[in-house]
């Protein structure tokens, strides 16, 4: 009797799950799955203390990510502690834990996530499927690898409602075998299948061809969500992710600032902003509050100790700064002349007109007025000349500008 009841209960749950998946697929919105706290933290030197992870997780919750890859419970006690803490405080996102296809890993995830409600927790299973991983890492043939994966999925679906499964090194796996793995794990009840480009070898055209092949050869693909996960070894992670969206990816896995293994992962802020500029192409980014992007980029940089390159798209220091006279003049007339988007769009401070050798008269006059310094035309010319004669690479901050003004005006009486 109990057996029959639990089987019925299982069937109802499966139907509810299928409905949720269909709902997300129908809406066509793209869900952000953040892996800053797992893949991002794997970057050498980016190790985070559990309390720092909690701060970032709360900021990601506010930002509006759909799920959080919170860590790898089997890897360390610190990971377990961080996952337990996050599971308690994070509100909206699904919190997932990474597991190998081993019952012990799934048990560890269950233990770390036990305080979280069932529909807000999940496991993310991975197992290498490429010839390299099968032969040199796992020493198993295709059939044995497939059995290992399906057995783990069955074990996981008995314990979790949300189960994602990613064939590791998918981008270097034979396409027919990859599709076979997807078909089997969907039949075994996963909610999400992942396509990890584990070593970052894909280019946008490759993504298009591969994803089309998968969609054509996995007949049950609409019963699960499709997630893409790119690494930036060729500098193509964001472009690949956008192409993935065009080819039907429902979930994009990203990290803040693109931190992660080797050359890093897909940068969350870059994908979100690209989507916001071209919604007709990529559809809406589910719930992402773009104005929180720059603050979270800075927070992650500060807590991980991984500096932001000054020209990092979206959050870098020079993204809204210019020294060039023509650009400064245009920006003063209308900021959109020389910007793809305004600072307030992504929560950045303001446009900065840097005064230096390349600056023009308009920007100098503008800054002088902002500082309340009224100068006649000849004095402005003298100030501009003084700025242009500064040594290479020096910028005139407000203090220096005041000194130049005082010098010019006293010199000429």
- The C-alpha atoms of residue 189 and residue 181 are separated, in whole angstroms, by 13
- The C-alpha atoms of residue 328 and residue 408 are separated, in whole angstroms, by 23
Q: Which of these segments, 33-41, 79-87, 335-343, 370-378, binds Mn ion (CB under 5 A)?
A: 33-41
Nearer to Mn ion, 253 or 359 (CB): 253
Nearer to Mn ion, 34 or 39 (CB): 39
CB 146 within 8 A of CB 180: yes
Position 168 contacts Mn ion (CB under 5 A):
no
**CB of residue 282 vs Mn ion: minimum separation in angstroms?**
22
Residue 356, judged by CB atoms within 10 A of its CB (0-12, 13-18, 19+), counts as: middle
Q: Which of these segments, 39-47, 88-96, 116-124, 302-310, binds Mn ion (CB under 5 A)?
A: 39-47
Residue 68 CB partners (closer than 8 Å, separation 6+): 33, 34, 37, 57, 60, 61, 86, 90, 93, 94, 95, 96
C-alpha distance from residue 328 to each of 151, 358, 367, 394, 400 (Å): 62, 10, 11, 18, 19
Position 197 contacts Mn ion (CB under 5 A):
no
Nearer to Mn ion, 256 or 348 (CB): 256
Closest to 41 measured CA to CA, from 94, 82, 13: 82
Nearer to Mn ion, 47 or 394 (CB): 47
How many of the other CB atoms lie within 10 Å of CB of 379?
17
**CB of residue 260 vs Mn ion: minimum separation in angstroms?**
6
- The C-alpha atoms of residue 103 and residue 40 are separated, in whole angstroms, by 25
**CB of residue 198 vs Mn ion: minimum separation in angstroms?**
6
Q: Which of these segments, 31-39, 68-76, 84-92, 148-156, binds Mn ion (CB under 5 A)?
A: 31-39
Question: Which residue number places its CB atom closest to Mn ion?
Answer: 39
Position 39 contacts Mn ion (CB under 5 A):
yes
Nearer to Mn ion, 39 or 52 (CB): 39
**CB of residue 231 vs Mn ion: minimum separation in angstroms?**
6
Q: Which of these segments, 36-44, 85-93, 175-183, 220-228, binds Mn ion (CB under 5 A)?
A: 36-44
Q: Which of these segments, 5-13, 37-45, 53-61, 357-365, binds Mn ion (CB under 5 A)?
A: 37-45
CB 305 within 8 A of CB 48: no
**CB of residue 39 vs Mn ion: minimum separation in angstroms?**
4
Q: Which residues bind Mn ion (CB under 5 A)?
A: 39
């Amino acid at each position: 009797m109990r057996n029959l009841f639990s089987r019925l209960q299982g069937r109802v749950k499966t139907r509810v799950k299928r409905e949720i998946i269909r709902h997300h697929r129908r809406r066509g919105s793209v869900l952000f799955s953040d892996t800053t706290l797992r893949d991002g933290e794997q970057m050498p030197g980016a190790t985070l203390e559990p309390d720092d992870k909690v701060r970032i997780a709360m900021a990601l919750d506010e930002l509006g990510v759909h799920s959080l890859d919170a860590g790898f419970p089997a890897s360390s006690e610190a990971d377990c502690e961080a996952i337990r803490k996050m599971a308690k405080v994070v509100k909206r996102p699904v919190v997932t834990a990474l597991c190998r296809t081993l019952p012990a890993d799934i048990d560890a995830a269950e233990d770390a996530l036990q305080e979280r409600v069932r529909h807000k927790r999940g496991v993310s299973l991975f197992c290498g499927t490429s010839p390299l991983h099968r032969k040199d890492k796992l020493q198993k043939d295709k059939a044995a690898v497939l059995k290992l994966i399906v057995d783990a999925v069955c074990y996981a679906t008995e314990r979790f409602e949300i189960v994602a499964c990613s064939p590791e090194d998918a981008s270097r796996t034979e396409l027919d075998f990859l599709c076979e793995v997807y078909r089997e794990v969907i039949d075994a009840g996963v909610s999400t299948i992942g396509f990890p480009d584990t070593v970052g070898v894909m280019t946008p055209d490759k993504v298009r061809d591969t994803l089309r092949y998968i969609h054509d050869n996995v007949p049950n693909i609409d019963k699960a969500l499709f997630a893409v996960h790119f690494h930036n070894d060729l500098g193509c992670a964001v472009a690949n992710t956008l192409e993935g969206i065009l080819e039907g990816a429902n979930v994009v896995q990203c990290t803040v600032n693109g931190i992660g293994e080797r050359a890093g992962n897909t940068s969350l802020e870059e994908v979100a902003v690209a989507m916001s500029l071209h919604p007709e192409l990529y559809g809406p980014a589910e719930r992402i509050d773009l104005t929180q992007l720059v603050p979270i980029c800075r927070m992650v940089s500060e807590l991980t100790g991984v500096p932001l390159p000054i020209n990092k798209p979206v959050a870098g220091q020079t993204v809204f700064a210019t020294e060039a006279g023509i650009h400064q003049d245009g920006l003063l007339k209308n900021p959109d002349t020389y910007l793809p988007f305004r600072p307030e769009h992504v929560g950045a401070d303001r446009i900065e007109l840097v005064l230096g050798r390349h600056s023009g008269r308009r920007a100098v006059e503008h800054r002088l007025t902002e500082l309340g310094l009224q100068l006649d035309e000849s004095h402005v010319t003298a100030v501009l000349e003084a700025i242009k004669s500064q040594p290479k690479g020096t910028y005139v901050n407000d203090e220096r500008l005041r000194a130049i003004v005082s010098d010019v005006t006293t010199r000429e009486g």
